[in-house]
Amino acid sequence: MADITIAGGDGDFSAYLATPASGNGAGVLVIQEIFGVNADMRAHCDAYAAQGYFALSPDIFWRQEPGIQLTDKTEAEWQRAFELYQGLDVPKGMEDLMASLSHLRSIDGCTGKAGTVGYCLGGLLAYLMACQSDAECNVSYYGVGIDAQLDQASNITSPTLLHIAEEDEYVNKDAQAAINSGLAGHSNVTLHSYPGVNHAFTRNDGIHYDTDAAKLAHGRSADAFAAALK
């Protein structure tokens, strides 16, 4: 497990890489929340490495503040996280993710197959990776803003899962209805809704972490990656 450097089109940026014990396996690109490549993202990477994947989480806030690592525990951190979120150039962030996906596939020992998984902001970006990249599988956890990007759904050609928190304070009922309506019947998209849970219900040590819902969602994600990548 180590921090590495990725060469992007606009400059180098850092990423956290977790390696499977076997030294061989497919890849999973782990896309950060608004808090940076923090302990939570690293824990998700480590969990995927334990399942036999190379797991890579790139720093997509590097243009604003390289190496940022925040938590959801203080108001000051929330304010800074929202500043970084609002300052993100999404097309540039997507370029970084494309470069990261290419880097992941090129790692010695990687099979060349790779999927993406993202949380919150990363959930939106994982959805956009499903629409814009050739990743073999994509998983979005409580992605914010997907309802405004449904016109891209026709481009999805690989298995894609969306985990939706029914009591999400950042994805309201109207947005959830739009997502369900817009993606219903899409042959490559599977929607899972989780009643009674709030945004970030899988954030390790997060204020809304829900053990049962997290276990169910992670199991579904694991099955999707196993089917598409192994």
The predicted-structure confidence for 140-178, as pLDDT tens digits, reads as follows 999 999 999 999 999 999 999 999 999 999 999 999 999
SS3 81: helix
**pLDDT score recorded for residue 230:** 86
Q: Could you give the domains of the chain?
A: 2-229 (3.40.50.1820)
pLDDT at 145: 98
Q: What pLDDT does 173 receive?
A: 97
Q: In the prediction, which pLDDT does 120 show?
A: 98
- The per-residue pLDDT for range 181-199, each reduced to its tens digit, is 999 999 999 999 999 999 9
Which residue among 40, 72, 147, 168 is the active-site one? 168
CA dist 17 and 142 (Å) reads 23
- Give CA 193 to chain center in angstroms: 17
Residue bearing the bigger pLDDT, 230 or 79: 79
Instruction: List the catalytic residue out of 44, 103, 199, 208.
Output: 199
Q: Please compute the mean of the pLDDT values over residues 70-96 and round it to a whole number.
A: 97
> Around Cβ 73, how many Cβ atoms within 10 Å?
11
**Sign of the CA dihedral running 97, 135, 164, 185:** positive
The yes-or-no verdict on residue 119 having pLDDT over 90 is: yes
CA dist 136 and 118 (Å) reads 15
Q: Which pLDDT tens digit goes with each residue over 193-218? A: 999 999 999 999 999 999 999 999 99
The question of whether 168 is a catalytic residue gets the answer yes
Catalytic: 199?
A: yes
Instruction: Report residue 199 as tokens.
Output: 């945004």
Please determine, for residue 31, whether its predicted confidence score (pLDDT) is greater than 90: yes
Distance, CA of 182 to CA of 205 (rounded, Å)? 33
The per-residue pLDDT for 1 is 82
Radius of gyration of the chain (CA): 16
Residue 12's Cβ-count burial label (10 Å; 0-12, 13-18, 19+) is: exposed
